[in-house]
Chains A and B, each alone.
Chain A
Amino acid sequence: QKEVEQNSGPLSVPEGAIASLNCTYSDRGSQSFFWYRQYSGKSPELIMFIYSNGDKEDGRFTAQLNKASQYVSLLIRDSQPSDSATYLCAVRGSWGKLQFGAGTQVVVTP
Chain B
Amino acid sequence: SAVISQKPSRDICQRGTSLTIQCQVDSQVTMMFWYRQQPGQSLTLIATANQGSEATYESGFVIDKFPISRPNLTFSTLTVSNMSPEDSSIYLCSSILLDTSTDTQYFGPGTRLTVL
Select one of A34, A45, A46, A100 contacting B42, CB under 8 A.
Answer: A100
- Which residues of the partner chain A approach B58 to less than 8 Å between Cβ atoms? 97
**B92 touching A98, Cβ below 8 Å:** no
- Which residues of the partner chain B approach A34 to less than 8 Å between Cβ atoms? 104-105
- Which residues of the partner chain A approach B90 to less than 8 Å between Cβ atoms? 43
Whole-angstrom distance between the Cβ of A38 and the nearest chain B Cβ: 9
**B104 touching A43, Cβ below 8 Å:** no
Q: Which of B81-97 contact A (CB under 8 A)?
A: 90, 92, 94
A29-43 toward B: CB 8 Å interface, digit per residue (1/0)? 000101010000011
CA gap between A98 and B38 in the complex, in Å: 17
Whole-angstrom distance between the Cβ of A102 and the nearest chain B Cβ: 5
Of the candidate stretches B12-20, B63-71, B72-80, B106-114, the one touching chain A is B106-114
Count class of interface residues, chain A: 10 to 19
Select one of B103, B107, B108, B110 contacting A92, CB under 8 A.
Answer: B103
**B103 touching A100, Cβ below 8 Å:** no
Whole-angstrom distance between the Cβ of A85 and the nearest chain B Cβ: 14
CA gap between A16 and B69 in the complex, in Å: 47
A-B interface, 6 closest residue pairs, ranked by CB to CB distance from nearest: A43-B107, A100-B43, A43-B110, A100-B42, A102-B42, A44-B107
* B residues whose Cβ falls under 8 Å from a Cβ of A: 1, 33, 41-43, 45, 58, 90, 92, 94, 102-110
